[in-house]
Structure 1
Amino acid sequence: MNLDQLSADELEAQMNPRIAVPEAEDYIADYVQRSAEARERLGGRIDVAYGDTPLQTIDVFPATDSGAPLHIFIHGGYWRALDKSANSFVAEALVQAGATTVMLNHDLCPAVTLDDIVGQVCKAIAWVRGNADNLNGDPNRIFVSGHSAGAHLAMMALAHDWESDGLPPDLIKGAVGVSGVYELAPILRTSINADVRLSDDMAARNSPTRHPPATSAPLVVAVGQQEPEAFIDQSKDFHQACLNAGVDSQYLECPGDDHFSVLYTLANPISGLCGLVLRQMSLA
């Protein structure tokens, strides 16, 4: 799809899931309810600080056994909304399969920039690695995933120069992006940018499609089959950029799913998408 040929309203409908899916608020309310119930079942450690601001926190749902793989999930919300507490239900299948699961929060635009958020996510991942033993986790088995803007952040973390932080370049052993946004230039022409405040340069340096990760870690790039064409193209184009860079990337369209229902598929332990997440960690 050539987004340059779309009107402002047409582009908004393609790139803004809350417009593309009229039931968006109902989905989010259901996420919150499911997540509260999941936290009651899982227990865990809530609002553990990894940084200096109130939103630089994680929720940790430890595996029963020590030395478990560590799976870090990053919520969506176009970097300007939502919270880890609305996605706790995604952790349940992963914990039950044997992974310590970490739900990550970060500061939100417009209070901070996207550059800041990417830095916070990398800081959180480094914190998890440094504290793995206290989380029943193996610091050498870290995996990341995310939904929507969280998928973008997961892939930015995968492309991060970890050696510059004194950490192994292959710190992240696998990643899954679900309904991600990987080329940010179109956002400059949407209402979303009133909060995110992207410039051309910031969009360029934070577009994973332009900077595919130099990694041997396997990737899964998943998207709902019922999403707008532009969102599906985001995943297809990023997947192809990864293949062109020699990355082990697998593309998956989830049948019948829109931008919000796809999270239920991720949380379903018998779904193909959840199976791919578990197989990355050698838990299926």
Structure 2
Amino acid sequence: MRIIALLNRGGGTLRTTDLDALEAHLREAMRVGGHTIELGYIEGEEVGRELEAAAGSPDHDAVLAGGGDGTISAAAAALMGSGKTLLVLPAGTMNLFARALGLPMDLHKAVDALAKGVARDVDIATADGRPFVHQFSVGLHARMVLMRSRLEYASRLGKMLASLRAAFAALAKPSTIEAELVMGETVVRARTPGIGISNNLFGDGPLPIAEKPDGGLLGIYIFRTARRLEIALLFVAMMLGRWKEIETVDIHQSEEVVLRVRSRRRNQTCVIDGELVPASNETRLRIHPKALRVVVPADNDR
């Protein structure tokens, strides 16, 4: 493949990585794997613009994106339906999409896996046309992300601690939204603290990772309680990988869902792949089966 690699210097792991050593390893691994590579660095507001330019370049047929979930989401959005291939280098805090693809979390091991990997078509979802690879959420999660954004942190550990503080703050004063979800002929109405809609159903385990990246169905999660204790128990169950056993979570699957939300909050927000964005009263979410080509480890070509 003719690869252009764009590494986000602001990615959590890259900020503390020997970039010269990583670049040398990346070039050599790709050479041995039979690929050509052009490498550059991106940061801040230029990330989305540079990824879109790389996706549209006739000089390359693949884009390697190095960074956190936000960077990878932007790269996937740029490449969706293009026929070009995305290589994911996990350099963020959680790296949820990279985990779903079976990639190692160590940067050098991930480079080796990508150099020897195979192409595979996986699903990508959209919210009112905006692509996402992991999750859309409203309610509790959006409040947590908003609270975390007001806290200062300068490292991966700092971000995790800030997330924990934000979770406790949100739990201290839970609120609810009124929601209606239309899934084909099924209509669900709920007063809920939060709703999550994922690009394929999450598997078991302590991290919310798609069990099958090409399953072809959105995972839809509706929390049915606003009681602090029950929400806290849900968080504990999630960390233990047993959240599916909690009766206060309704789980649905659908190719498409229309979500209508009413909230007492004046400026309603949602989270798309970890990014806090303004939310509308009605959002149409769809899954696009096998609309994104990625590279996965050769032994994970399920």
Structures share fold, TM-score greater than 0.5: no
**TM-score, structure 1 length as denominator?**
0.23
In terms of fraction of residues, the more helix-rich structure is: 1
* Larger RCO: 1 or 2 (CA < 8 Å, sep 6+): 2
